[in-house]
Amino acid sequence: NPQEGKIKFSHPKGLYVLFASEMWERFSYYGMRAILILFMTTDMAAEGLGLTTETAGAVYGLYTASVYLMTLPGGWLADNIFGQRKAVFYGGVLIMIGHLVLAIPGSPAIFFTGLGFVALGTGLLKGNISTLVGELYENEDGAKRDAGFSIFYMGINLGSFFGQIFVPLLAEYNWHLGFGLAAIGMFFGLVAYRVFAPKYLENIGMEPKVKSVPKTGKSNMSITYGIIAFIITLIFILQYFNYIDVTTATGIAEALGIIIVTITMGYFANILFNGGLSLLDKKKVFVIFILFVGIAIFWSGFEQAASSLNLFTRDFTDRFIWGWEMPAGMLQSFNSGFIIIFAPIVGALWVRLAARNINVRTPIKFAIGLILLALGFWVMVEAARVAASGAKAGMFALILTYFLHSIGELTISPVGLSATSKLSPKKYLGQMMGIWFVGAALGNLIAGLIGGNFDPENVLEMPNIFLNVVWVSVGAGLIFFAASPFIKKWMGDVT
């Protein structure tokens, strides 16, 4: 079908510039993330940071959550001051500096400074580069735009795939060589962007979108102050009664979790009650809230890949293939590999089903994604039981888990993002996309905290840690199944 070929190959050249830049950025992000918790929990004698698993898990959660939270100010800065194009470039520079700082062997202070740079830089780059992709297709129809984003998602996973192979390989010789390779990856991304963006992106994203900042109403401000006062009081009470300890990394991570949850609830309550929306729109916004909860639960399991699952791989998995021991972090690459292989297949499956008049609705897809997450962790429960018996688990268990999680990711993540954008009232679109990243932030934070419970000395506890994740995700999946008729109704004309 010549028509099909034409649609396939008529993407704007700018897409490939953004593809290459994001590919290298993700190479650096996921490559570094694959060795992050391993480096932090390795003894100082072996040139690691020598942190306890609990602290390392909390730092992992705080770092990965910040990366996604920073996309909110990053988006604001691009919209109001820099424009997307400059924001992406500055972001890339900060990321590269961050990885270079990580490449300097030294104290934890140097290390945390490096992480801070990467988080700030990713905040400027990650969301804004996706906005640029969207702008390439501003006047195009939905199908072509979706195809553009699918190609872009391939770039993300190609970069992650190779980053998670080569950074852990180098880190076997020296941790800081691994971090240095991440910096080099980002450098390539910047070069691609600098050389080709002016030619192929033309004028898009050059100007900040918002010339004047709309005034915030009085009622809005008092709600904001109310929420801040509530959060401070709550954290103070929890600290006073020793439920959390904000002088530790874990306590700070827990406090951040409380802050994220409270602000998100306040945000949704405000839009629902003060947003001036019709009943129809209110129902849709409520559905976005439900999807937010679903995606946060999903990521809180999924993102344990580089926390608890990574530690499990290092300490309790037989990683020998033909006499060669695969570095633990390298197993992370299976997720991206599976995404590259199965993204087109899962995409085609929905189209096939739709052609037979079987339309799998968004809440059902969320349910399937959550159940797949649970199945993956169930495999881990069994693997942990093997470890608890004193033997090493086979690598196949982790590969199977990553397979189930990757299919889950494909079922839930693109679907949720596109449903959110369609359900959102126009005037809140930017903010709702931000909420999507907040869901990722919350999930990553919880994934770090759960990873912190992983105690290599207490092998017998391990199956239980994974079993809890199974129950939560099965429970959430079943709730999505049961609630799907209502959710479907509230979604109105959005399919």
Distance in Å, CB of 442 to ligand GLN, minimum? 11
Distance in Å, CB of 440 to ligand GLN, minimum? 4
Nearer Cβ to ligand GLN (313/335): 335
Q: Which whole-number Å values give the CA distances from 217 to 248, 285, 306, 414, in the listed order?
A: 38, 21, 43, 34
Q: Which whole-number Å values give the CA distances from 194 to 16, 24, 94, 158, 212, in the listed order?
A: 13, 13, 15, 21, 29
Nearer Cβ to ligand GLN (156/379): 156
Nearer Cβ to ligand GLN (306/368): 306
Nearer Cβ to ligand GLN (395/441): 441
Distance in Å, CB of 253 to ligand GLN, minimum? 17
Nearer Cβ to ligand GLN (339/387): 339
Nearer Cβ to ligand GLN (299/378): 299
Nearer Cβ to ligand GLN (231/340): 340
Nearer Cβ to ligand GLN (129/387): 129
The residue within the footprint of ligand GLN, chosen from 65, 94, 156, 465 (CB under 6 A), is 156
Distance in Å, CB of 236 to ligand GLN, minimum? 31
Q: Which residue, 472, 311, 262, is CA-closest to 377?
A: 472
Distance in Å, CB of 330 to ligand GLN, minimum? 17
Contact 423, 271 (CB under 8 A): no
Residue nearest to ligand GLN (CB): 440
Q: What x/- string results for residues 16 through 35 when contact with ligand GLN is judged by CB under 6 A?
A: ----------x---------
Count of residues interacting with ligand GLN (CB under 6 A)? 4
Contact 37, 60 (CB under 8 A): yes
Q: Which residue, 378, 383, 404, 385, is CA-closest to 395?
A: 383
Contact 39, 175 (CB under 8 A): yes
Contact 366, 294 (CB under 8 A): yes
Residues 6+ apart with CB under 8 A from 227: 262, 263, 266
Contacts 24+ apart (CB under 8 A), 385-392: 385/463, 387/312, 387/316, 387/459, 387/462, 388/459, 388/460, 388/462, 388/463, 392/316, 392/317, 392/318
Q: What x/- string results for residues 372 through 411 when contact with ligand GLN is judged by CB under 6 A?
A: ----------------------------------------
Distance in Å, CB of 26 to ligand GLN, minimum? 6
Place of tokens 């959005």: 494
Distance in Å, CB of 379 to ligand GLN, minimum? 21
Q: Which of residues 88-147 bind ligand GLN (CB under 6 A)?
A: none
Distance in Å, CB of 52 to ligand GLN, minimum? 26
Q: Does residue 419 interact with ligand GLN by CB under 6 A?
A: no
Q: Which residue, 392, 383, 410, 390, is CA-closest to 466?
A: 383
The residue within the footprint of ligand GLN, chosen from 40, 88, 383, 440 (CB under 6 A), is 440
Q: Does residue 299 interact with ligand GLN by CB under 6 A?
A: yes
Whole-angstrom distance between the N-terminal and C-terminal Cα of the chain? 28
Q: Does residue 186 interact with ligand GLN by CB under 6 A?
A: no
Report the distance separating Cα 234 and Cα 225, nearest Å: 14
Nearer Cβ to ligand GLN (33/283): 33
Q: Which whole-number Å values give the CA distances from 191 to 118, 142, 474, in the listed order?
A: 18, 31, 45
Binding residues vs ligand GLN (CB under 6 A): 26, 156, 299, 440
